[in-house]
């Protein structure tokens, strides 16, 4: 691996149980992220870990899984969105993790969910990472060729994918292959990292909203303040009830408030 001058910041995304934490552990070559062989440790918070792979510093952020039934959707979205903050100023690569031996309708929706959460450009910074490579009985290329769902999935990420066998801890070749693909992708993206314009837009919107409220408060215009707050609650509850996947809009407020302090 050549030193390209950047130190990859990687975020792991995907459903619970697909092997995100195990992948983090494989990349870092150490015991991290609480992935256990016998029992699945459910990750409920993002965590970041660093290591040096072939002389280069690599950081990995692990996240809770999508469709995690043990966590409230709002809390879950907040935690996943926090991954972007943890890997400040922004990740170079999102690894969207799937089990190679389990791919249904539900899994197909995940890239769209990720787009909704992080904005359109996110898939430009994404690589599909398949786990359970030990369960493969034919080359992955052939499997993708035969399966139109899989084909569509990898196409959405510019045909970037890698397979891991997380049971084979000594297999550093799979890690080097992945880092190579990440390097190529970073290069194609002009060496830049993903930065969430949407987050910044939400921040600005929130600030304007607070400014408006301050003006109303200063004017001692209590009726307007009340109407303003009620409309805000109404809009948020509308979003909450009707656009189920936009539930992350509300938790974003918490992040922003939190981040301002
Ligand atoms: N056989 C096999 N099992 C794996 C592989 N990757 C992960 N697992 C297992 O899958 C289960 C869930 O893994 P975990 O990393 O906790 O998933 P997470 O919820 O996505 O973080 C654990 O029992 C892992 O040992 C793999 O490549 N092959
Ligand atoms: Mg985990």
Residues 6+ positions from 193 with CB-CB distance below 8 Å: 9, 89, 90, 91, 92, 125, 186
Half-sphere exposure of 32 toward its Cβ, with a 13 Å CA cutoff? 22
* Residues of the domain holding 178: 9-194
Does residue 122 sit within a domain?
Answer: yes
Taking CA atoms, 92 is separated from 14, 73, 113, 128, in Å, by 17, 26, 19, 14
CA–centroid distance, residue 40 to ligand 2 (Å): 7
User: pLDDT tens digits for 110-147?
Assistant: 888 787 777 778 899 999 999 999 999 999 999 999 99
> What is the domain count for the chain?
1
For ligand 1, atom 8: residue with the closest CA: 19
Confidence label for 201 from pLDDT (cuts 50, 70 and 90)? low
Q: Between these two residues, 178 and 202, which has the higher pLDDT value?
A: 178
Q: pTM for the complete prediction?
A: 0.74
Does residue 161 sit within a domain?
Answer: yes
Asked if residue 193 has pLDDT above 80, the reply is no
Does residue 209 sit within a domain?
Answer: no
**Separation of alpha carbons 77 and 247, rounded Å:** 8
CA–centroid distance, residue 228 to ligand 2 (Å): 41
Asked if residue 155 has pLDDT above 60, the reply is yes
**Ligand 1 atom closest to 62 (CA):** 21
Average pLDDT over residues 89-114: 86
CATH number for the domain spanning 29: value is: 3.40.50.300
pLDDT of residue 183: 92
Does residue 101 sit within a domain?
Answer: yes
Does residue 60 sit within a domain?
Answer: yes
User: pLDDT tens digits for 30-88?
Assistant: 765 655 444 445 566 778 888 887 778 888 988 887 766 666 666 666 677 767 666 66
Does residue 247 sit within a domain?
Answer: no
CA–centroid distance, residue 62 to ligand 2 (Å): 7
Mean of all residue pLDDT scores within the chain: 75
Does residue 52 sit within a domain?
Answer: yes
Alpha helices in the chain (DSSP H): 20-28, 73-86, 105-108, 110-118, 140-146, 148-156, 172-188, 197-218, 222-242, 249-260
């Amino acid at each position: 691996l050549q030193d390209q001058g950047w130190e990859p910041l990687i975020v792991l995304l995907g459903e619970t149980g697909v092997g995100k934490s195990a992948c983090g552990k494989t990349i870092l070559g150490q015991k991290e992220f609480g992935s256990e062989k016998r029992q699945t440790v459910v990750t409920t918070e993002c965590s970041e870990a660093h290591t040096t792979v072939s002389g280069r510093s690599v950081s990995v952020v692990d996240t809770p899984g999508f469709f995690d039934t043990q966590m409230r959707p709002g809390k879950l979205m907040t935690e996943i969105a926090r991954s972007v903050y943890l890997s400040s100023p922004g990740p170079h690569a999102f690894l969207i993790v799937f089990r190679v031996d389990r791919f249904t309708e539900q899994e197909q929706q995940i890239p769209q969910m990720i787009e909704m959460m992080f904005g359109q450009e996110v898939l430009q910074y994404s690589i599909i990472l398949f786990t359970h490579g030990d369960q493969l009985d034919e080359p992955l290329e052939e499997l993708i060729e035969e399966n139109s769902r899989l084909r569509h999935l990898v196409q959405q990420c510019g045909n970037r994918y890698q397979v891991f066998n997380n049971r084979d801890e000594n297999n550093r070749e799979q890690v080097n292959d992945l880092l190579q693909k990440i390097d190529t992708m970073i290069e194609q993206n002009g060496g830049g990292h993903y930065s969430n314009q949407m987050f910044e837009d939400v921040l600005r919107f929130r600030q304007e909203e607070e400014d408006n409220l301050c003006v109303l408060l200063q004017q001692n215009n209590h009726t307007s303040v009340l109407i303003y707050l009620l409309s805000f609650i109404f809009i948020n509850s509308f979003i909450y009830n009707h656009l189920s996947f936009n539930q992350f809009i509300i938790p974003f407020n918490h992040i922003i408030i939190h981040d301002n302090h």
